[in-house]
């Protein structure tokens, strides 16, 4: 099962271990002569298109739950992102939170030790780990120590 905090990276690691075990089993079956080929069914095939960086842009009009999934899907790379002060801000970890609409989507409604709380189209998204372009990855609390983000700040603006 996929956990609520799994990312593309953690799933990739888990699948690599499962794939290695399956490959070892297949090689063993091949050596013993017990492996029998069977054609892949043509029904149910889906093609996964190449992931483009732009797909990781956070659309603050979307629900918080969906944005949290985008963050997890693009972690660790190429990373979900928005903009802050005209610069790219990667979002490495975030969690959705319920709450009433108290400001337009993309508006920061709180920023402190617990993270940066941003309004979305439905609910709120708490940014826990971020990275400003050209800088290193930081907890939101550490980021805020060097980059104040007052309530009312709009993320994603050009």
The answer to whether 92 touches 131, Cβ cutoff 8 Å, is yes
Q: Residue-wise pLDDT tens for the chain (158 aa)?
A: 888 888 877 877 888 888 888 888 888 888 888 988 888 888 888 888 888 889 999 999 999 999 999 999 999 989 999 999 999 999 999 999 999 999 999 999 999 999 999 999 999 999 999 999 999 999 999 999 999 999 999 999 75
DSSP state of 123: S
Domain boundaries, the chain: 53-146
DSSP state of 154: B
> How far apart are alpha carbons 42 and 28 in whole angstroms?
27
Q: Structure pTM?
A: 0.82
* Cβ burial, residue 104 (10 Å; 0-12/13-18/19+): exposed
Superfamily of domain 53-146: Formyl transferase, C-terminal domain (3.10.25.10)
> How far apart are alpha carbons 128 and 139 in whole angstroms?
6
What are the contacts of 113-120 at 24+ separation with CB within 8 A?
Answer: 113/141, 114/140, 114/141, 115/140, 115/141, 116/140, 116/143, 116/144, 116/149, 118/60, 118/155, 119/60, 120/60, 120/61, 120/62, 120/63, 120/64, 120/67, 120/96
């Amino acid at each position: 099962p996929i956990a609520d905090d799994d990312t593309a990276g953690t799933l990739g690691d888990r699948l690599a271990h499962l794939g290695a075990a399956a490959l070892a089993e297949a090689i063993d079956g091949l050596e013993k002569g017990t492996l029998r080929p069977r054609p892949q069914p043509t029904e149910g095939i889906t093609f996964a298109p190449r992931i483009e960086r732009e797909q990781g842009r956070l659309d603050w009009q979307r629900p918080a739950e969906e944005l949290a999934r985008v963050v997890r899907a693009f972690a660790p790379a190429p990373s979900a992102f928005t903009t802050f002060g005209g610069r790219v801000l990667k979002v490495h970890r975030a969690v959705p939170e319920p709450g009433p609409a108290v400001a337009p989507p993309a508006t920061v409604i709180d920023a402190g030790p617990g993270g940066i709380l941003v309004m979305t189209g439905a609910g709120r998204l708490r940014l826990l780990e971020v990275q400003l372009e050209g800088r290193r990855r930081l907890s939101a609390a550490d980021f805020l120590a060097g980059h104040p983000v007052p309530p009312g700040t709009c993320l994603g603006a050009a």
